[in-house]
Amino acid sequence: MDMLDTRFGSIWSQLWRHRFNADSAEAAMGIYVAWQKEWADAFAKEELTVAQVKMAIHHCRRREMPPTLPEFLDMAKPIADAEEAFIEAGKQMAAMSFGHPFVWHVPAIYWAAHAFGAFELRNTNFELSGKRWKRLLDEQMRRGYWAPVPVYDADVKWLGYRPDRDQLQQKFRSAMAVLHMPPEEKSKCVAKAAQQLGRAA
């Protein structure tokens, strides 16, 4: 907890130190010790990992005021249930695909959904794909912080990366490039593709 106190002090300076002000040094120490005990107990009961605490601290940098304990816990563990996150990901991905309004409240869910695949999300369920979803979501949660997620815009529907469209366009460009190659190079590409398919089979 001393490390957390140091980080909070560096983020909010006197605004954080003011929380432990009292009429006497003894009373101030009592407030500080009580804060340490309460937060340490909550971290233990919630079974927070070091990565989750670091993630919450990362989000704290954007706040003007120090967080309460419940706020900090929400930042450290924004996902309570993997199945609920899966359902949320499916809804948001579907909204993006059809140009409807969407909001990614937890970036980790978006990036897990992105890795999972928009098409796959629309054509499976948690019972069948829960194990893979949990693995991808856990990988994202261990990162602690993420690149910006797409944002809906009423004029252009949304801004950001579209997995289905971009992947198809990339495949199309690759196919067209092969068609315009000299015969000798084209034969080499076809042979290489056949070899790779043979390994995957």
Neighbours of 165 (CB within 10 A): 11
Structure tokens at 123: 């054509």
Q: How confident is the model at residue 201 (pLDDT cuts 50, 70, 90)?
A: very low
The angle formed by the CA atoms of residues 87, 91 and 97, to the nearest 5 degrees, is 140
pLDDT (0 to 100) of residue 173: 55
pLDDT of 131 over the 50 cut: yes
Q: What pLDDT digit, counting tens, does each position of 59-81 carry?
A: 888 788 999 998 888 888 767 68
Q: Which residues contact 55 (CB under 8 A, 6 or more apart)?
A: 75, 76, 141, 144, 145
- Whether the CB-CB separation of 105 and 114 falls below 8 Å is answered with no
**Coil, strand or helix at 159:** strand
- Whether the CB-CB separation of 149 and 140 falls below 8 Å is answered with no
d(Cα 84, Cα 101) in Å, to the nearest integer?
A: 19
Would you give the DSSP letter of residue 152?
E
d(Cα 143, Cα 52) in Å, to the nearest integer?
A: 9
pLDDT (0 to 100) of residue 156: 57
Q: What pLDDT digit, counting tens, does each position of 137-174 carry?
A: 888 877 766 788 888 877 655 555 444 555 545 555 55
pLDDT of 3 over the 70 cut: yes
Higher pLDDT, 75 or 179: 75
pTM of structure = 0.49
pLDDT of 90 over the 90 cut: yes
d(Cα 129, Cα 127) in Å, to the nearest integer?
A: 6
